[in-house]
Structure 1
Amino acid sequence: MPTLDDKNAIAFEFARICSLAAVKVMEIYESDFEARGKDDKSPVTDADELAEKIILTELAHLLPEIPVLAEESFAAGFRPKTDGAFILVDPVDGTKEFINKNGEFTVNIALIEGRVPTAGCVFAPARERIFVGGTQAWAGTLKAGQSVSADALALISTRARPASGMTAVMSRSHADETTLAFADAQGVTERVSAGSSLKFCLIAEGTADVYPRFGPTMEWDTGAGHAVLNAAGGAVLTPDGVPFVYAKEDAGYLNGAFVAWGRTE
């Protein structure tokens, strides 16, 4: 069993679990599934619920002492302690993308310590693309169910800001006028749309420079992508430049506005 001190080992264990859970996710994705509405009106499918069960079972064996805050169990009323280290799980981030079958959904797991993501994995099984972040960040090709190792992936890092202007990545489902205005004020010259936590990963691998988000998200939506971006040399800040933190229990784990950056020079 890896210790919490070995962030890379933790991150690759998360990657193993994401790959395992993605087998069930892809089985449902390729079927004639039905979406349902949760109490908060957000959509959910069998993939969310079954993948989360797999992930929670694996995490209970991997890190039995660490509480897990997971989207579907939270919706069902489970409230773990998050005043120390804890794990964030989003079994299918980008459920709208899943329902629309555009492939831009991800399986996410992140470790939070001191209110900051320190290890995480983002896996896009329909795109066969995985991102892993500990003290360094990796990315590569992976099919659901395959084993994953650092040797099979490539190290990634954020890029220096292009002299010709930054590329902003924005939510495919939630871009608004405030987001567009922020991008214009930063001198963004190109905009790219993407779903789910892949937006963080595009910055981490150096194909985009900034991801502004002023609409609501939950902590499990952002933790894994944030971990990968941190490991690749980026940062997530509030629009005022303050570090973006987790364990916001009093807010129901609802995130405020944030900006994900590549190089912050």
Structure 2
Amino acid sequence: MPINNTTPAAASDDIAILAVLESLALAAGRAVMAVFHCDFEVERKSDATPVTEADRAAEKIILDGLRRAFPGIPCVAEEESSQGLCPSDPGKTFFLVDPLDGTREFVGRRGDFTVNVALIRGGAPEIGVVYAPASRKCFAGRPGRAEEIIVSPDYEEVARRSISVRESRLPLTVVASRSHSNPETERYIRDLGTVELVSVGSSLKFCMLAAGEADLYPRFSRTMEWDTAAGDAVLRAAGGSTRTLDGKPLTYGKCRQAGEADYANPSFIAAGSDKG
């Protein structure tokens, strides 16, 4: 039965919403892997970023499911947005969808690409699912609880465990983008001193922080809100934070920005713990 409450707040509602998001992410992951194991064409969008049949198939599954289950909640999705189908003001509660985060990794036949679905409330990512179908790992977060879910080859849940961030330890483990490094990021990491640097694609960087496998994720190159929302939700649920360079929490629903596109993020630093 559709859930019509556009401002769900109770824990039971959050659990029900998260279950829907998990189911849709797994279904989208199945579609992504069906394309991954075949020959596929790579197209270029107007911003020169790649897009494949997998992106579109996964997005359709997710959006159809969200709009059926939550008809009163707007959806902002990467591929629809690239076609100009995007609300100019989604309100305080809306979904952000990246059907295939890490398309470059997907095209390069590397496994660290993800399916991402998140619910935003009042500018914060409160419920999120990140599914990495190649490794069959799924990360889920809602206020007060983050989990890692192991998925079978048949796209069924096998097991799940609670995860949380760790206190920072030296040398810091820093995760960085494999495909989007730039001088600002390299300078920031260099200034940290001796670190263990791990290069990872997609929103799995947030999930490594959430699972206590890394300490920092600095990002000084461009991202969009759908790139970060689901992973950020998992990280915050696990006790971490994502802050802009002025120390404020990264917010969502940024429309009509001066000199910048709707839903574009500023530079940020995601951290597993403020301690240490």
Bin for the TM-score computed over the shorter chain: over 0.9
Q: What letter corresponds to residue 231 of structure 2 in structure 1?
A: G
- 109, 133, 139: which is aligned to 2:148? 139
Deviations 1:11-36 (A, max 9, x none): 23211100011111100000011100
In 2: Cα distance, 1:193 partner to 1:14 partner: 27
In 2: Cα distance, 1:158 partner to 1:175 partner: 24
In 1: Cα distance, 2:55 partner to 2:31 partner: 10
Q: Are positions 1:118 and 2:126 aligned together?
A: yes
Cα contact 1:8–1:133 (8 A) shared by 2: no
Q: Could you say what secondary structure the match of 1:216 adopts?
A: coil
* Structure 2 equivalent of residue 93 of structure 1: 101
* Structure 2 equivalent of residue 184 of structure 1: 190
Cα contact 1:67–1:82 (8 A) shared by 2: yes
Q: What is the correspondence of 1:3-82 to structure 2 with a 5 Å cutoff?
A: 4-5=8-9, 6-80=13-87, 81-82=89-90
* Structure 2 equivalent of residue 201 of structure 1: 207
Q: Could you say what secondary structure the match of 1:246 adopts?
A: coil
Shift of 1:170: 0.1
The gaps in structure 1 that reach 5 residues or longer are none
Cα contact 1:168–1:188 (8 A) shared by 2: no
More deviation in 2-11 or 210-219?
A: 2-11
The gaps in structure 2 that reach 5 residues or longer are none
Instruction: Determine what percentage of the aligned residue pairs are the same residue.
Output: 44
Q: Could you say what secondary structure the match of 1:227 adopts?
A: helix
Cα contact 2:203–2:227 (8 A) shared by 1: yes
Q: Could you say what secondary structure the match of 2:65 adopts?
A: helix
Q: Are positions 1:255 and 2:261 aligned together?
A: no
* Structure 2 equivalent of residue 104 of structure 1: 112
In 2: Cα distance, 1:79 partner to 1:228 partner: 24
Cα contact 2:141–2:233 (8 A) shared by 1: yes
In 1: Cα distance, 2:93 partner to 2:153 partner: 28
- 148, 168, 173: which is aligned to 1:167? 173
In 2: Cα distance, 1:148 partner to 1:72 partner: 28
Q: Are positions 1:232 and 2:238 aligned together?
A: yes
Distance 1:55 1:204, change over 3 A: same
Cα contact 1:7–1:118 (8 A) shared by 2: no
- What is the TM-score normalised by the length of structure 2? 0.91
Cα contact 1:12–1:148 (8 A) shared by 2: no
Q: What letter corresponds to residue 201 of structure 2 in structure 1?
A: G
Runs of 4 or more off by more than 3 Å in structure 1? none
Shift of 1:82: 1.4
The two structures, once aligned, show a CA RMSD in angstroms of: 1.5
Q: What letter corresponds to residue 93 of structure 2 in structure 1?
A: A
Distance 1:188 1:62, change over 3 A: farther
In 2: Cα distance, 1:8 partner to 1:171 partner: 31
In 2: Cα distance, 1:123 partner to 1:191 partner: 23
Cα contact 1:15–1:148 (8 A) shared by 2: no
Cα contact 2:77–2:86 (8 A) shared by 1: no
- What is the TM-score normalised by the length of structure 1? 0.95
Deviations 1:103-150 (A, max 9, x none): 11000000001010000000000011100000200003214652448x
